[in-house]
Structure 1
Amino acid sequence: MDGNLRGRGGRVQDEEIMVDEEEVVDEEEEQDLWCVWCEDWSISLPKKIEALSGSCVTINCRFDINSEYDKDLTDSAAGVWLKDGTDIEGNGGLKWTYTQKSAFIDVIDFPPNPAVQMFEDQMEVEEEVLEGSSMCLRCSAKTLCSSSPPTLTWSSTDRLHLNESSRLQLDQQNQTEIISDLNFTATHLQHGVTFICTITYQLQQRKTTALNFIRLRVQYGPKISLFSCNRTNVTVCLCEAHGNPSPKVEWFLSGRPVSNSANTSISEERLSSTDLRSFISLHQSLTHTDTLQCVTTNTHGNASKQIQLVSSLQEMTHCQLTLIPLLVILTLILILYALTVGFGLYKIRQ
């Protein structure tokens, strides 16, 4: 038991005990603190204190004394914890016993889960965040035992490199809590990633853990991940895009928008809540100047890719022109080989 005694002179005394069994908790009281004689001789401490079995527990005790004894509350003054009260003894005539209801200890076998919060540009948020925002994921928990505080660690489902920092501080109830902040800039690569905070308590004979998690949802502009064409008698192209919200895809042939018609067929396939694949089939003759463009948009921007289209006849002509130099080279090699063999046979006959 860590007993923190604080008087007008700022006197603090710490004591510690281990917790091994559960105490009865008074459920009928509505106040968080007992307060006896809240003028002059007064003392306050929590009604209910949560403690982890096998660990120590901290009880914060605050007191005031009659102002005429302020001079006696020096560094030599001491507080003594009793089963049914607390003694404060200092110099001169300063000696007082506070008797009141005790602080009840609620012993738990397993630690509570840590609390996880998400901050976007220093504002707490619960919904989706925007790509490029400065993010902070905060994990916090009560230390329960100040002499052996727990540790907090972060992990993620995608095994990202995490930059975290931890610290101890007092909460609004004057209890020590441990906080771990995970800072990063939100990107589309983190959309759907689950970040897990694990708290570990070192007990007398073992360690015990608890965890909490948060799934990050990032809104971002569209990106084209795949754009390809297969050209035979019919030109078939596909464009695969992703974004949050899910983007839409539009096609442009030589700068003109394309829609379903007798010569054009467009279809779509929804791959996920953020991914879309679009197909286009062109049943028409093309020239060497025709271009096909895939344009994808959502509320956060747009992206596009373009490809130069060539007709099947042009591709065949291009292929033939490419083969001519190869045929010439092969012919020369064969002639040279024949001459070499012929010259060798002539030498043998001689």
Structure 2
Amino acid sequence: MKVAKKFAVFYCLFRVALCIDSFSITLPQSVDAVGGLCVFVPCTFTIEARFDTDLQGDPKGIWRKDGTTEDQTVFDSTTPKDNKIKGNITGDLRMKDCTTIFNSVNKADSGRYYFRIESGELKYTYRTASVYINVSDSLSVPKPTLSLYRDQMEVQDRRVLEGSSVSLFCSAFPLCPTVLPTLSWSPLPTNIRQEQNQNTSFTSSQLNFITTHLHHELRFNCTATYQLENNDIKTTQSSLVLRVLYGPKNTSVSVSPSGPVMLGSSVILNCSSDGNPAVNYTWYRENGEQIETGPSLTINKTEDTHSGLYYCRAQNQHGAQNSSVQLDIQYAARNTSVSASPSGPVMLGSSVTLNCSSDGNPAVNYTWYRENGEQIETGPSLTINKTDDTHSGLYYCRAQNQHGAQNSSVQLDIQYAPQISLSFHCNSSSKGGIMCVCEVHGRPVPKLEWRLSGQPVPPPENSSVREESVGHTGLRSFIYIHQSLADTPTLQCISANSLGSTSQLFYAVATHHCSPAG
């Protein structure tokens, strides 16, 4: 890489004097300097060939200010302590190099300067060319030059791919050869190699590193610090902002509002990612279906079908990255139902299982109740291993989660053939006849019939029959027999339903009391 050599002093266009008898000198037309600092004056000259031998003796250089007479001498290289302007000739006079540094100049030193060479017979003042030294009180410190390189080529737009090997090059120039700058960097990240170079022409510093996304939009500052001859400190700074191109990183998805999403509510999924250039976003369901583009996905009214995994893909020309979120649509228990297994009527003494099902999110809990409110079981199933007639009735299942509850019920019908209760009897009636009672239970509720001597009871004018229900499964029948029928030897109570029949005999009706037959 080429670095132009510059000086802190600013030279006007060089003026080359015309040769007079082969004597000539090359000087800048003017030099700008700052009070308190040195001033650098580049200078070369020629002489007539006949003086070449004299020049190889012990030459001295003389500078005269604002004129060419001896009393205007301000600098003599052979009497440094007596000079009005301190300094030294850094060039080699024998090589016709009269380059000079004047130290700690002040504003009074401003003026036009002429050079004179003396050595043996050689004594010559160059009157046709001079340099004007302009000393000012204020110091304008030039900023350092800051450049970015990749593969030894300067990157003008400051854009580099992540993973590139790059160099930051900073250079600054001395205010004068005795005031060299020191260079410092900020920030100075880890894993960066620094190289420094310093000479009288310029000072440089180079940072070598591999770019990462962490360097994107990082401002690198190069600071040049000058310690002046009067011990004052001057600083100046240049900055460069690095633009790193990289694929998506740190991709994430969030849900708003956070927490469980209720059925029928609105929800927004937001995707964020870090990439340069800016990433594009695409939304997918877990089955790969593309459903939306952009950083946000809004569902205005959620349904249970919206539950599931959602993917956000962040992508630019340098790569892609996915992130996902599980959307959990929650709702209270619904569609609650109860079934019996086996279905249909349940025979007395058999086993039956009641099953409860419900749809809810989160999963519901089940509780079983009898119709009187008694809690009898928890869990989705209720099993009765051996049924009896007390198990008939209404059974409730309550399905419940933290969002609500729903009930469902089933009627359990325990069926059995008729059974005549032991409470049957006959008593004499105050009216002179006989009153007999027969009570029967069965499911379905049985029918009951009275027979006298094997024959159906005669019409009501000879007897009176009255029936009443007993609970959900029983029937009680009363029969009144007139005295004129007392010669009938037997009375029979017969009961039947779809599952069977049974009967009970009553003897010796005429004796005004009953003797049931076993």
The alignment's TM-score, normalised by the length of structure 2, stands at: 0.44
Residues 45 and 137 of structure 1: CA distance in aligned 2, closer, same or farther (over 3 Å): farther
1:215-230 map, 5 Å: 215-229=241-255, 230=259
Which residue identity does 2:323 align to in structure 1? K
Paired amino acid for 2:148: F
- Choose from 362, 365, 371 the match for 1:316: 362
Aligned 1:244-263 pairs, distance under 5 A: 244-259=276-291
Change (3 A) 1:139 1:128: closer
Which residue, 226, 237, 251 being the options, matches 1:201? 226
Relative to structure 1, is the Cα distance of residues 64 and 280 closer, same or farther in structure 2, using a 3 angstrom cutoff? Answer: farther
State the Cα deviation string for residues 70-101 of structure 1 (Å, max 9, x = none): 555548544333334223345x6554432322
Distance in 2 between residues matched to 1:242 and 1:38, nearest whole Å = 70
Report the counterpart of residue 63 of structure 1 in structure 2: 45
Alpha carbons 2:144, 2:173 under 8 Å: kept:
no
Does residue 88 of structure 1 match 2:117? yes
Deviation string, structure 1 residues 227-270 (Cα, Å, up to 9, x no partner): 3455433675332112222111101112424335xxxxx764xx
Question: How big is the shift at 1:164?
Answer: 3.9
1:134 aligns with 2:169: no
Q: Which amino acid in structure 1 is aligned with residue 280 of structure 2?
A: K
- Measure the CA separation in 1 of the matches of 2:364 and 2:145: 62
Q: State the percentage of identical aligned residues.
A: 30
Higher alpha-carbon Rg: 2
Match of 1:7 in 2: none
Distance 2:223 2:238 in 1: 7
Distance (whole Å) between structure 2 residues aligned to residue 79 and residue 167 of structure 1: 33
Pairing 1:54–2:36 present: yes
Distance 1:120 1:89, change over 3 A: same
Give 1:155 shift. 1.9
- How many Å separate the matches in 2 of 1:46 and 1:168? 26
Partner in structure 1 of residue 14 of structure 2: 33
CA–CA separation in structure 1 for the residues paired with 2:314 and 2:321: 5
In the alignment, which residue of structure 2 is the partner of 1:98? 126
1:144 pairs with 2:175: yes
Partner in structure 2 of residue 240 of structure 1: 272
CA distance in 1 between partners of 2:174 and 2:272 (Å): 49
Q: 1:287 to 1:144 in 2, by over 3 A?
A: closer
Q: Is the 8 A contact 1:117 1:124 kept in 2?
A: no
1:134 shift after superposition: 3.0
Residue 298 of structure 1: how far off its partner (Å): 1.5
Q: Which has the higher contact order (CA 8 A, sep 6+)?
A: 1
| TM-align CA RMSD | 3.8
Note closer, same or farther for the CA distance 1:294–1:316 as it changes in structure 2 (3 Å cut). Answer: same
List runs of 5+ in structure 2 lacking aligned partners: 1-9, 66-112, 331-358, 367-518
- 1:25-58 deviation digits (Å, cap 9, x = unpaired): 9xxxx96112223695332222232323322222
CA contact (8 A) 2:148 2:158 kept: no
SS of structure 2 residue aligned to 1:103: strand
Which residue number corresponds to residue 178 of structure 1? 203
Q: Secondary structure at the match of 2:116?
A: strand
Structure holding more strand per residue: 2
- Conservation of the 8 A alpha-carbon contact between 1:195 and 1:214: yes
Unpaired segments of 5 or more residues in structure 1?
Answer: 1-24, 171-175, 261-265, 269-277, 321-350
Matching residue's letter, 1:196: N
Taking structure 1 as reference, are residues 136 and 153 closer, same or farther at Cα in structure 2, changes over 3 Å only?
same
Matched with 1:210 is: 236
CA distance 1:103–1:64, change in 2 (3 Å): same
Alignment-derived partner of residue 190 in structure 1:
215
2-structure distance, mates of 1:142, 1:245: 37
Alpha carbons 2:283, 2:297 under 8 Å: kept: no
Task: Note the C-alpha offset of 1:287.
Answer: 9.3
**Secondary structure in 2 matching 1:189:** helix
1:285 matched to 2:304: yes
Count the aligned residue pairs: 270
